Chains A and B, each alone.
Chain A
Amino acid sequence: MFSEIKKISQFVTLLVFCLILPVKISEGGISDKTNEAISCETLDVDYAYRWNPDTYVIWEKKPDAPRQDVPITYSDWNLYRITEGKAGVRFVINNMAATGISHIWIRAFGGGWAEYKSQVDEVTKWTPYGSGEDAKKEDVLQESVEFGHELGLQVYAWFPFLEEWHGWKENSRSRYTDMHQDLSDQHLNGFKTGQPSFYFKEYIDYKLEIFKELINNYNIDGIVLDFERIAHRSNQCGYLPGLIDEFQSKTNLNARELSANDPNWMAFRAKYIGDFIKQVNEIIDQRNRPVELVMWNVWDVPLSAHWDVKTWTDAGLIKNLAVFKHGELGWGSAASVPDDLYASLNHKYKLNKLYYGCYAFKTNEKGLTDRAAAALTQGFDGLIWVESTPIYWGKRLNLPREFALTDTFEVKSGLTDMTGGGEIAVICSNAWDLSLDDSEKTLISGSPNEIVKIRLPAVDGTHSLVFKCHKLSGKNMFSGIAVDGYTITAQKDKFPLRTNPSWQSLNGNKVAITGKPGIAPFLGNK
């Protein structure tokens, strides 16, 4: 009898040993018996949950996610809503990051207005729409750089350096143009355009001062020279007496007798802007950190009185080109994009990178998606979603998201000692289930964009939390999950448990930051 009991006891011990041992060895497993017993308890929480600053919203990036840029003009956002101050900047950038955008272009200057703390005398120093005293203290560019970098974004200064005010009323005109009519460009008939000319050294110096501020005072990753978005790109200008004389002395041709579209005369006028870009390159070269210089322009006009793409790319002044056409007809569908656009531009110019601009203001979602996809198929190195305000308020943020982020996401935390349980808050763009390790059992589920606070069960040993985020049934514009809390170790210490890019996708793809919680769109049940 005793021996039988002993045998049974040995068998049971062996059985228990066989069951427990693998768990102990893996230090991440959990027995079915334990699994059945454990459960989570939900606690009260709401939008005002104070997310730890080290918590990031994360999601799985598609393996073939392209580079996606978005130009941002804060004054445009301000027309729609009050995106001012630190909260306003964070609101805009967080929303962009939530779609898988990788690069943001902050409009740093335009119409004589700087959206950064410029020390150049003739620059008006804040956005025209920031009326409050507090607004003048804000530095949109600085906050964008800091917060953008925190989210892993590349932050570029977008510099519409050919003086422009694109349609706003006179009170947002360039102050410099008002104060320096003596530097105005002019037509053949003597008509003053009101736009300063790069022929004048004073104007170049003024522009270089601004450029130096951007490069030297801000930790930007790139700078975009905007040739596309200018008010005046007519070839009728440049008829300044000195310029005409210089042209004559070098070519023995009288510019007054040539067509304004004469290639030699256009190239000669553009040369002065080329000289400016040469100095820009020198300033960049002096900086310790690499800065990508991108020329943004229309794709079908290689030469004008304002630019000479062939000469500049041959000389290495421009190595990266973003092509786009603002609201023009014929640019609104995939069919309108020439099949050989990428190849022909690359054939014509010596380029490192070639980016493709999608005009988010116009056309429908399918049209936008089709032509963006067509551009990538051709070989373009990235997409630029031009006009961030309509892409936001037009609820078209699903377009960049679809290129960058997966629809579903299975992610697990690192191993953490859960002997004493723990507490976490969770917010996710999608519906989700929580399980432990490789268990099939769902401990708790959550709804999209709803903050849930959970008391974690006490389970011996170290475990990983696994979140399975499901595909949304409707339009999915944002993707992300954030977890913030702690587990309690066997020693009763609190061990932080927060989402960050070190969490692992079960698909093995890269995990990217797509925002911070506590800021739209990851506010939750507000």
Chain B
Amino acid sequence: MNVRNTVFLLALFIFTPLYAGYYAFEPRWDGYIIWGGEVKTQTALLVDISKAIINGSGTDSTTLCNHILGNASCAGIRTIYWRLDDGRGHLLFDSNQKDSVLALPNLAVDFSKIDYAEKAYELTRKLGMEIYLVADGNYIDEARIKFSPVKVISSKEISAKDLVSESNMIGIYTWDVARLAKANLSGKTLYFRKSITTQKQLMNASICVTSRNKYKLYFDGRLIGEDSEWWIGETYDITELSNAGNHVIGIEVEPDRNGERGLLLNALFKYNDRTDKISTNAEWLCSDTFVEGWNKPDYNDKNWKNAIVVGFDGCVPWMRLIRPWNNKTSVISDDSSKRPIAVSKVSVAENSQIANLLIDSSSNDRSAWYGKVPCEIELSFDKSRPINEIRIYSGNIEYSNNNSGALNIKKYSIDVYQNGQWIRLIEPMQALAYKGEKCADFFIRHKIDNKNFEKMKLVVIESFDTGLRVHCPDKPCAESKLVYIREISFYDNLESSIKK
């Protein structure tokens, strides 16, 4: 065997497992998903795990506990009462009273073999929740010994006024969870900060972040990036900003109006001999009040409160989160004039039939229309501005609404108003999702080389709409061919890198 063959085989031997294990070697998100403020109500969760099982769940104890407790943490529930019996004389743990231990042979469930309570305890510790095991009758002493140091109480000692049951916490994300999250957790825009110190000889510094729903990431007060797609995190290289000394990572998070909320951030500071990892957890500080300079190192944060944990990577309902560090994103230029451009006025062409205007875009850079196709939406700015990029997000995100077709843009054109006349900027074309390109949701992105214009007109020619609705499932509804546009945003010189 010659040297070349040996090297080739050696390389094959080394790299093949890495390639085959492409996903297995990717890191998961560290730390916890956090939210801020105090939990408003004292809703507690009472779990009878046997009910969850017989109502169509699984024997997989990890997953089952993950669903119930993950949803609960996401809903802002901090106290769990975990029953050790089903209230009808069957024990839900491996008791010395063997005859009473529940077994459902045809479901392959045997509580003498699967310790759900132990799994629940582990998970509540991870999520920073308080758990009480609930036992009655003559087995309470046995349970106290078996599960020490976990608190075992009798059902009479359950002190919570508002109890919800495990049936509200089954599934990936339910309206029960959303409703509780809205009731329990702050719905305000929140500000998070974490002080860090970097040393000399830093080789590389990067931050990967995602949130529900929209974040703005700052480093020492400077806007680094922003995004609103929760299932994929953006990775920002901040090496050149991370001189030795004290710094602050600041994040402003605008919650989702449906109740889904949370922030997850991982940061890596790599030195010659080590890597410092920073990740979101309950030690992060949070405030719901905007104060000038809140995101800078010299800001006094003594009145800020600790964040609370509302989940982690893999925890329901965050389990569709894409692994971190994949999505490298340019840092926004430090020139404050090169920021996302606010739209000053939104109008809808007279010949367009808009069914409903959900949010008035003139008061917010977020916009959302639910209108009939074809339609024209006109957006204008205070003055003629150089625009480098247009992003349009359309379609329903929630899978439950996809019955009708996602109502996303299928075919469209874009006109701009320049020097007193309308000019066709984008000829009618199909959206990326329909061309088969890799795209996140139904996201349209056009880079347009700093064109100056005062107005833009989006013409939606065709949408993906089957016309079938929940309320008229048999035939196309009268309002068929609708489009749902979630957001249109404009950027100036977004690609400017801090390295330039």
Interface string of B397-417 (1 = CB under 8 A from A): 001001101100000000000
Q: What are 25 sample pairs from A and B whose C-beta atoms fall under 8 A apart?
A: A51-B106, A79-B172, A79-B399, A82-B63, A84-B57, A84-B58, A84-B64, A85-B63, A87-B104, A88-B60, A91-B107, A128-B320, A129-B172, A130-B60, A167-B406, A168-B320, A169-B231, A169-B232, A169-B440, A170-B232, A170-B440, A171-B321, A193-B436, A329-B468, A362-B403
Chain A residues with CB under 8 Å of B52's CB are 82
Total CB contacts across the A-B interface at under 8 A:
184
> At the interface with chain B, which of A256-264, A305-313, A450-458, A515-523?
A515-523
Q: Which of A81, A86, A364 contacts B474 (CB 8 A)?
A: A364
A362 engages B468 (CB within 8 Å): yes
Is there a chain A Cβ closer than 8 Å to B108's Cβ?
A: yes
Q: Scoring A residues 359 to 399 as 1 if CB is less than 8 Å from chain B, else 0, what string do you get?
A: 00111100100000000000000000000000000000000
Give the distance in Å from the alpha carbon of A132 to the alpha carbon of B102 in the complex. Answer: 23
Q: Which of A79, A87, A191 contacts B53 (CB 8 A)?
A: A87
Complex Cα–Cα for A516 and B403 (A): 33
B388 within 8 Å of A by Cβ? no
Evaluate contact between A520 and B55: CB separation under 8 angstroms: yes
Q: Are A134 and B56 in contact (CB-based, < 8 A)?
A: no
Asked if B25 is an interface residue, CB under 8 A from chain A, the answer is no
Query: What is the CB-to-nearest-CB distance from A235 to chain B, in angstroms, rounded to a whole number?
Result: 13
A48 and B108 contacting across the interface, CB-CB below 8 Å: no
B476 close to chain A: CB less than 8 A = yes
- Contact indicator per residue, chain A 220-260, by CB within 8 Å of chain B (1) or not (0): 00000000000110100000000000000000000000000
* Interface flag for B8 (CB, 8 Å): no
Cα distance, A517 to B319, chains bound together (Å):
33
Interface string of B34-59 (1 = CB under 8 A from A): 00000000000000000111111111
CB distance from A349 to the nearest CB of B (A): 28
Taken residue by residue from 62 to 97, chain B's Cβ proximity to chain A (1 for < 8 Å, 0 otherwise) reads as: 111011000000000000000000101010000000
In the complex, what distance in Å separates the CA atom of A53 from the CA atom of B170?
A: 28
By a CB distance below 8 angstroms, the chain A residues around B62 are 131-135
A526 beta carbon closer than 8 Å to chain B: yes
Instruction: Contact check, B436 vs A87: say whether CB atoms are below 8 A apart.
Output: no
Which residues of B in the span 286-303 have a Cβ within 8 Å of any Cβ on A?
none
> Is A129 within 8 A of B319, CB to CB?
yes
In the bound complex, CA of A367 to CA of B320 (Å): 36
Whether, in the assembled complex, B239 has its beta carbon less than 8 Å from a beta carbon of chain A, the answer is no
With contacts A46-B88, A87-B109 taken as known, whether A333 is within 8 angstroms of B60 at the C-beta atoms is no
Bound-state CA distance A520–B105 (Å) is 13
Q: Which residues of A contact B (CB under 8 A)?
A: 46-48, 50-51, 53, 78-88, 90-92, 121-122, 124, 128-135, 138, 167-172, 175, 179, 191, 193-195, 231-232, 234, 327-329, 332-333, 361-364, 367, 516-520, 523, 526
Give which listed residue, A83, A138, A526, contacts B51 with CB less than 8 A: A526
Min CB–CB distance B481 → chain A (angstroms):
11
- Sort A-B residue pairs by CB-CB distance and give the 3 closest, nearest first: A132-B62, A84-B58, A132-B63
CB proximity of B291 to chain A, nearest CB, Å: 36
Q: Contact check, B320 vs A362: say whether CB atoms are below 8 A apart.
A: no
Instruction: Tell me what chain A mostly uses at the interface: helix, strand, loop, or mixed.
Output: loop
Residue of B whose beta carbon sits closest to that of A76: B399
A134 close to B61 (CB less than 8 A): yes
Residues of chain A contacted by B172 (CB below 8 angstroms): 78-79, 129
Query: Is B435 on the interface with A (CB-CB < 8 A)?
Result: yes
A130 to B468, CA, bound (A): 31
Is B466 an interface residue, CB under 8 A from the partner? yes
Report Cα–Cα, A414/B319, bound state, in Å.
Answer: 52
Query: In chain B, residues 346-393, which have Cβ atoms closer than 8 Å to a Cβ of chain A?
Result: none
Interchain CB contact under 8 A, B474 and A333: yes
The interface bits of chain B over 421-461 (1 if a CB of A lies within 8 angstroms of the residue's CB, else 0) are 00000000000000111101100000000000000000000
Dominant secondary structure at the B interface: loop
A48 x B399 contact (CB < 8 A): no
**With A50-B103, A175-B22 known to touch, is A83 a contact of B59 (CB < 8 Å)?**
no
Docked complex Cα distance between A169 and B66 (Å) = 21
Distance, CA A363 to CA B20, complexed state (A): 45
Name the CB-closest residue of B to A128.
B320
Whether A87 lies near B57 (C-beta < 8 A) is yes
Decide if B467 is an interface residue (CB 8 Å cutoff): yes
List, in ascending order, chain A residues with CB within 8 A of B20's CB: 121-122
**Docked-complex contact B57 and A81, CB < 8 angstroms:** yes
Q: Which residue of the partner chain A has the closest CB to B405?
A: A327
- Are A518 and B320 neighbours in the complex by a CB distance under 8 Å? no
In the complex with contacts A78-B172, A171-B322, A328-B466, A87-B59 CB distance below 8 A: yes
| Cα distance, A51 to B103, chains bound together (Å) | 10
In the complex, per-residue mask of B460-496: 1 if CB is within 8 Å of any chain A CB, else 0? 0000001110000111100000000000000000000
Q: Which residue of A lies closest to B434 (CB)?
A: A234
Contacts of B232 in A (CB 8 A): 169-171
A residues in contact with B170, CB < 8 Å: 81-82
When the two chains form their complex, are residues B467 and A84 in contact, meaning their CB atoms are under 8 A apart?
A: no
Interface pair B440/A518, CB less than 8 Å apart: no
Report the bound CA distance from A367 to B54 in whole Å.
Answer: 32
Is the pair B473, A363 in contact by a Cβ cutoff of 8 Å?
yes
Provide the bound-state CA to CA distance between A227 and B19, in Å: 30
| Cross-chain contact of A519 among B58, B86, B106 (Cβ < 8 A) | B106
Q: Which residues of B contact A86 (CB under 8 A)?
A: 58-59, 107-108
B60 touches A132 (CB 8 A): yes
A363 contacts B474, CB within 8 Å? yes
Chain B contacts of A88 at CB under 8 A?
56-60
**Distance to closest chain A CB from B379 (angstroms):** 28
Complex interface bits, B223-238 against A, C-beta within 8 A gives 1, otherwise 0: 0000000011000000
Task: State whether A332 and B59 are in contact (beta carbons under 8 Å apart), knowing that A78-B172, A82-B52, A179-B22 are contacts in the complex.
Answer: no
Given A84-B57, A131-B319, A132-B60, 17 more contacts at CB 8 Å? A53-B105, A79-B171, A82-B60, A83-B56, A84-B64, A87-B53, A129-B319, A134-B63, A135-B63, A171-B320, A171-B322, A171-B323, A231-B436, A363-B473, A367-B474, A518-B107, A520-B56
Contact, CB under 8 Å: A169 / B468: no
**Is residue B128 within 8 Å, beta carbon to beta carbon, of the partner chain?**
no
B340 within 8 A of A: no
A81, B438: Cβ atoms under 8 Å? no
Chain A residue with minimal CB distance to B403?
Answer: A361
Given A121-B20, A361-B403, CB of A520 within 8 Å of CB of B54:
yes
Question: Do A329 and B58 touch across chains, with their CB atoms under 8 A apart?
Answer: no
- Beta-carbon contact of A82 and B104 below 8 Å: no
Report the Cα distance A232→B105, complex, angstroms.
44
Is B31 positioned at the interface, with any CB of A under 8 Å from its CB? no
Residues of B within 8 A of A84 (CB): 57-60, 63-64
Instruction: Say yes or no: A329-B57 contact (C-beta < 8 A), given A78-B172, A169-B441.
Output: no
Whether A81 contacts B55 by the Cβ 8 Å rule is: yes
A80 near B171: Cβ-Cβ < 8 Å: yes
Judging by beta carbons under 8 Å apart, are A82 and B57 in contact?
Answer: yes
Q: Is the CB of A329 within 8 A of B436?
A: no
Give the docked Cα–Cα distance between A122 and B399 (Å): 27
Q: Select one of A47, A129, A170, A179 contacting B54, CB under 8 A.
A: A47
Residue in contact with B466 in the complex, picked from A50, A78, A329, A526, CB distance below 8 Å? A329
Residue of B nearest to A366 (CB): B474
Which B residues are in CB contact (< 8 Å) with A121? 20
- Pick the residue among A79, A130, A518 that contacts B105 (CB under 8 A): A518
Complex formed: what's the CA distance from A362 to B171 in Å? 22
Nearest CB in chain A: distance from B46 CB, A: 17
Cα-based distance from A51 to B88 in the complex (angstroms): 18
